[in-house]
Amino acid sequence: MRLQSALILSVGLGVGLALPAPAQGGIQLAGLDLNSLQGLNVAEISTLLRSLAGNAAVAEAEQNAGVEQQNAKAKEGEAAAGEEVAEGEEGAENEVDVQAIFDTPVEVQGGDLKQDLQFPPSAIGSFEYEFQATTADTVTVTENKTPASAPSGFVAIEPSSFKVSLAQSKGAGLTLSKIDYIFDTASAALAGMDITQAKVGRLCADVGAFVIEETLGELEFEAEENEVTLNLNKNVTAEGEWGIFLPAAAAATALMEQMRAGAGNATAKQ
């Protein structure tokens, strides 16, 4: 019954998030039981988060389609000018941004040039990998949309996980190696979420689940970038699978607030 309630609630969350209108007959507010959220387990909260992220992606795509078309020509001119400025700044700081694509090998340079590999965004944010080493390498990141279980007491705020592969070094002996995730705070799926509590976890093949440990590296949340970053310890390699997580209690609290807002908006429209 709890899982059935979770599915009902995941539909109900759309009420307060300006998502596409429901099919004829609408959403039955009688099915929105706020108290039932408190009884959900971690797996069921994860189901809600995945549903919410998926719905937000659809709404965002529809909303942005018209805006992108209108701004396309203006952005072309801005991009050309921006690239010239960026190249000057990056050269001065010995750092470059690289627009990468999942499942596509990226040739990264040596010479201790810091390179931020930025991957296509999901409904709630973007995965990044920071590389710096004396020798060149080849980095490939694969998105896994059906990852293993979250660490105990946590839920996957980002539904996908990310597999990092370094062809030459295997992630050993690097000057800098960081796992980053930048949140899109405009995403409806993050409404009420305390992203400052986000953690980065690594898949442990022995137990078939992700783990969050201080021994992985130094975790930091950079508020100005809305970014959680894990600076890996020298004895920890980036080669492996990584996920972005939030304490289950914090996620449940945010979902309840979204439910209350959604129920209030629906009542006002009646």
Question: What DSSP state is assigned to residue 70?
Answer: H
Q: What are phi and psi of 132, to 5 degrees?
A: -150, 125
- Distance, in Å, from the CA atom of 255 to the CA atom of 261, rounded to the nearest integer, reads 10
Residues 169-180 have a mean pLDDT of 97
When pLDDT is cut at 50, 70 and 90, the band that residue 55 belongs to is low
pLDDT of residue 85: 43
Domains assigned to the chain: 2-65+252-269 (no CATH), 94-248 (2.60.220)
74-83, 174-183, 190-199, 258-267 — which is least confidently predicted? 74-83
Three-state DSSP class for residue 149: strand
pLDDT of residue 31: 41
Pairing status of strand 137-144 against strand 161-166? antiparallel
Using one digit for the tens of pLDDT, what is the confidence trace for 102-137?
A: 999 999 999 999 999 999 999 999 999 999 999 999
pLDDT of residue 211: 96
Q: What is the mean pLDDT of the chain?
A: 78
Token pair 């949340």: residue? 221
Q: What is the dihedral of CA 153, 158, 159, 161, to 10 degrees?
A: -90
Q: Structure tokens of 248? A: 């289950």
pLDDT of residue 252: 78
pLDDT of residue 176: 98
Which run of H or of E encompasses 131? strand 125-132
The answer for residues whose C-beta is within 8 angstroms of residue 229's C-beta and 6 or more apart is 130, 178, 179, 180, 181, 200, 219, 220, 221, 222
pLDDT of residue 167: 97
